[in-house]
Amino acid sequence: MNGGLRQSMAWLHTWVGLLLGWLLFLVFVTGTAAYFQDEITRWMQPEVHGQHNIDASAEGAIAYLQTHAANVEQWSVDLPGHRAVATTAFWKEKGETFAQWRDHSFLVDGHGQKVDARDTLGGWRLYRMHFDLYYLPVLWARWLVGLAAMFMLVAIISGVITHKKIFTDFFTLRFGKGQRSWLDGHNLSAVLALPFHLMITYTGLVTLAAQYMPWGVAAAYDKPTQYYAEAFGADEAPKRSGRVAPMASITAMIKQARETWQGAEPGYIFVAIPGDANSLVKLTRATDAGMDTRGETLTFDAATGVMHARPPARGGARETESVMVGLHAGRFSPLLLRWLYFLAGLTGTAMVGTGLILWTAKRRLQLPDPERPYFGFRLVERLNVATIAGLPFGLACYFLANRLLPIGLLQRPNWETNGLFIGWGALCLVAIVRPVKRAWVETLSVAAAGFLAVPVVDMVTTDRGLFVSLWRGDVLFATFDLVMLAFAGLFGFCAWKVHHRKDVVRAGSKKEAIA
Amino acid sequence: MMLLCLLAALAGFAALSLGMSRHQRDILGRILSAGRTKGLKIAGWVLLAVSWAAAIASDGAALGSVYWIGVLTFGALIVAFSVTRLSR
Amino acid sequence: MPRSTSNGAPATRVARALDVASRTVLAAVGGYIAAALTTAGLARWLPIPRVEAVVAGMLASFAVYAAVAIFAFAVVRVSRVWFWTSVYCVPLAAALYLAMHGAGV
């Protein structure tokens, strides 16, 4: 350890952290929200009632498919996880791609009845934005996110090695001291959740390892398809016999699957060439049924309901991979642990946010002319406002759009997402045109107003508003609205703090602010 | 058991924070003797271990450990904010 | 304080910038190459079923990447890091090339 090392590591941390910080902020915010993606989806589909019920859902979906899509290539039924209610099912006709599935997808509620809920992607959209971003080709987006994750891994390790001080500063948080406070906040949010940060970063890379590190497949296999066949089972499609055969009871197959998996539920049903005597049914174990999230797939003869031999068990490496991905996504997690995951995610968000602000706090003191900061400084300052206040406001807009857009709107889910970016973009404009301190106050206030509006609009536009939910004991809807109010309070508090902040940075200065 | 896990983590972090001279100065207004400081540090680590044991007893080694890490973050956060409040 | 050097003479500033740039390239590109070669090597030569070996290689790769990146910034003389990273990568690459296109190890 020497000065040079510390300096070059600090350089790396500062500049790469700055460049990737805004992206990491988005990744943390959407990822944290995605821990409640099923709950968000439920809130965004207030038309769906009933309780989680796998048997009723599966029977209802299959019955609907048998009546309305008897002679197609395949059926897919995405069963609800243990926190969800609705089932999404769809069919694929000959020659169609999976991209067209939304044209014939439908929703089944907890009673097994088809429901016409508003069209939305709910929490799933936020979950995908966590690594696919939006408006960008998915592959590029994932490379960008991977780069940010890799940097974060290096930043965490180098931080621990070089900054011995972060451990002597443990539990230290000094408020109202400008740069010192931001540094405390940055260190504290990094160190307190250090095991989480390490876990989440490494396992995050692992979730997309097949894209980031395809070289193992290239070295050991002639063709990638061979690897996928060995890893996930060869998927040779059954041949049509031309003979019609009714499908055996899906409930019986599910029962058999449960017995095979010691009680774990199926999460996904796939039926190839339904109605034919050679038709096959595949049941995949639910991703939330264990810490190892990659569930086994069982195959049944559709006509007889007889189960085929189980696929060979995974070895240690693939089991480890499955657990790592499971730990990252936390699907297995019971509710209490889920809140801890959420809290850790917020801590990560705070780490990135305070880091971004720290960059400016540190440099504000050294500005040659504080009245006219150089371009780069102003750019970072504005981007910070735009990201830290703007993105959360975008989320509020996403929820508001869900309630306010016309039900029959074409491409409704995409317009909900556009709503997110329109709201975010509007605050970006505010961040650019207003004096920086005013920009903070105004954008934070707008974000607070946005979150405050969510339960209000919910109350006006649905029959599941906060008071009704509390009265009926609808914990999920009530909690969602209360969390929105909590965020409104948080942003309002921040706006108030910035508004009343004396310019501690330049002690002795008579000027109110740069504004 | 989960409550014990949280309480032990809180007590453990509280002991560890009081085992640091800066916080002794800020909270107690004086520096404790070397022996006491050492005692606090040991107590802190032991309590964190107890917290882990409670989590494992409650939910098994795998799930319990994940719980424990979450509880540690939560507990440390509470202690950090309390230390800030109590500091003079 | 990353900015503390900016007061130095221009020559040292350029030298420092080059030093940091060299480390950054090494960490980002060299780290990836080392990780990719490790993954490929493990996938090919680990004595377990190859589908497992491929996954084991993937799991290990990010640790290798991170280690090289840290190494690139931890060692005083950057030329040393270039040297040792090459010592790791070149024979591994050669062996892999031979295994896949040559004698078939």
Q: What is the pLDDT of residue A9?
A: 78
Count of other CB atoms within 10 angstroms of residue C88: 17
Q: What percentage of chain A exceeds 90 in pLDDT? A: 71
List A272's β-bridge partners, or say none.
A74, A280
| Residue A177 clears pLDDT 90, i.e. is over it | no
From the list C39, C41, C99, the residue facing A213 with the nearest CB is: C39
Q: Are B15 and B32 in contact (CB under 8 A)?
A: no
Distance CA A385, CA A383 (A): 5
C64 CB within 8 Å of a chain A CB: no
- B35: three-class secondary structure by DSSP: helix
Residues of A in contact with B25 (CB under 8 A): none
Q: Are C56 and C42 in contact (CB under 8 A)?
A: yes
Q: Which of A5, A7, A8, A225 to mutate to test the interface with C (most CBs of C within 10 A)?
A: A8
DSSP element (H, E) containing A79: none
Distance CA A122, CA A43 (A): 8
The pLDDT mean for chain A works out to: 90
Q: What is the pLDDT of residue C14?
A: 83
Count of other CB atoms within 10 angstroms of residue A168: 11
The pLDDT mean for chain B works out to: 92
Interface A-B, measured as beta-carbon pairs within 8 A, has a size of: 65
In the block, residue with structure tokens 């959407």: A30
Average pLDDT for A454-482: 95
From the list A171, A193, A196, the residue facing B79 with the nearest CB is: A171
Residues of A in contact with C36 (CB under 8 A): 213, 215
Q: What is the pLDDT of residue C5?
A: 39
Q: What is the pLDDT of residue A165?
A: 67
Q: Which two tokens stand for residue C91?
A: 């024979």
A351 CB within 8 Å of a chain B CB: no
> DSSP for A273-309?
STTBTT-EEEEEE-TTSSSS-S--EEEEETTT-PBPP
Count of other CB atoms within 10 angstroms of residue A367: 16
Q: What is the pLDDT of residue C3?
A: 38
Chain segment A349-383, per-residue pLDDT in tens = 999 999 999 999 989 888 888 778 888 999 999 99
DSSP element (H, E) containing A394: helix A390-404
- A45: three-class secondary structure by DSSP: coil
C89 CB within 8 Å of a chain A CB: no
Collect contacts of C87-93 with beta carbons under 8 A, ≥24 apart: C88/C34, C88/C37, C89/C30, C89/C33, C89/C34, C89/C37, C92/C37, C92/C38, C92/C41, C93/C37
Distance CA A63, CA A82 (A): 22
Q: Are C38 and C57 in contact (CB under 8 A)?
A: yes
From the list A2, A210, A219, the residue facing C44 with the nearest CB is: A219
Q: Are A370 and A506 in contact (CB under 8 A)?
A: yes
Q: Establish whether chain B is in contact with chain C, requiring a minimum of 3 CB pairs below 8 angstroms.
A: no
Q: What is the pLDDT of residue A507?
A: 39
Q: What is the pLDDT of residue A170?
A: 78
Please provide residue A270's backbone torsions phi and psi, each rounded to the nearest 5 degrees. -130, 130
Inter-chain touch A172–B80, beta carbons under 8 Å: yes
Q: What is the pLDDT of residue A164?
A: 65
Q: What is the pLDDT of residue A364?
A: 86
Cα angle: A443, vertex A446, A451; to 5 degrees: 130
How far does the CA of residue B74 sit from the closest CA of chain A (Å)?
Answer: 7
Interface of B with A in 10-29 (CB under 8 A): 13, 16-17, 20, 22-23
Tens place of pLDDT for every residue, chain C, 105 residues? 333 333 333 457 788 788 888 888 999 999 999 999 999 999 999 999 999 999 999 999 999 999 999 888 888 888 899 999 999 999 999 999 998 887 544
Inter-chain touch A12–C65, beta carbons under 8 Å: no
The residues, ordered by sequence, that sit 6+ positions from A460 with a Cβ below 8 Å of its Cβ are none
C19 CB within 8 Å of a chain A CB: yes
Environment class of residue A335 by beta-carbon count within 10 Å: exposed (0-12), middle (13-18) or buried (19+)? exposed
First to last CA, chain A: 43
Give pTM, 2 decimals.
Answer: 0.92
A173 CB within 8 Å of a chain B CB: yes
Chain segment A263-305, per-residue pLDDT in tens = 999 999 999 999 999 999 999 999 999 999 999 999 999 999 9
Task: Pick A425 or A184 by higher pLDDT.
Answer: A425
How far does the CA of residue C43 sit from the closest CA of chain A (Å)?
Answer: 5
| Residue B81 clears pLDDT 50, i.e. is over it | yes
Which subunits have 3 or more CB–CB pairs within 8 Å of chain C?
A: A
User: What band does B88 get if pLDDT is binned at 50, 70 and 90?
Assistant: low
Inter-chain touch A230–C52, beta carbons under 8 Å: no
Average pLDDT for A453-467: 95
Nearest CA in chain C to A147: C28
Inter-chain touch A196–B73, beta carbons under 8 Å: yes
A161 CB within 8 Å of a chain C CB: yes
How far does the CA of residue A24 sit from the closest CA of chain C (Å)?
Answer: 18
Chain segment A483-499, per-residue pLDDT in tens = 999 999 999 999 999 99
> DSSP for A145-194?
HHHHHHHHHHHHHHHHHH-THHHHTTT---TT-THHHHHHHHHHHHHHTH
Distance CA A403, CA C28 (A): 45
C45 CB within 8 Å of a chain A CB: no
Count of other CB atoms within 10 angstroms of residue A231: 17
Q: Are C73 and C27 in contact (CB under 8 A)?
A: yes
User: What band does A514 get if pLDDT is binned at 50, 70 and 90?
Assistant: very low
Q: What is the pLDDT of residue A100?
A: 75
| Residue A163 clears pLDDT 50, i.e. is over it | yes
Question: Computed over its alpha carbons, how large is the radius of gyration of chain C?
Answer: 18
C94 CB within 8 Å of a chain A CB: no
Average pLDDT for A11-40: 93
Chain segment A34-60, per-residue pLDDT in tens = 999 999 999 999 999 888 999 999 999
A375 CB within 8 Å of a chain B CB: no
Task: List Cα–Cα distances, C46 to A321, A340, A385, C91, in angstroms.
Answer: 17, 38, 50, 17
Q: What is the pLDDT of residue C105?
A: 46
Mean pLDDT check: name the lowest of A173-182, A249-258, B42-51. Answer: A173-182
From the list A168, A170, A195, the residue facing B69 with the nearest CB is: A195
In the block, residue with structure tokens 């290689």: C57
Nearest CA in chain C to A363: C3
Q: What percentage of chain A exceeds 70 in pLDDT? A: 94
Q: What is the pLDDT of residue C6?
A: 39
The residues, ordered by sequence, that sit 6+ positions from A399 with a Cβ below 8 Å of its Cβ are A43, A44, A454, A484
Amino acid at A42: R
Q: What is the pLDDT of residue A71?
A: 86
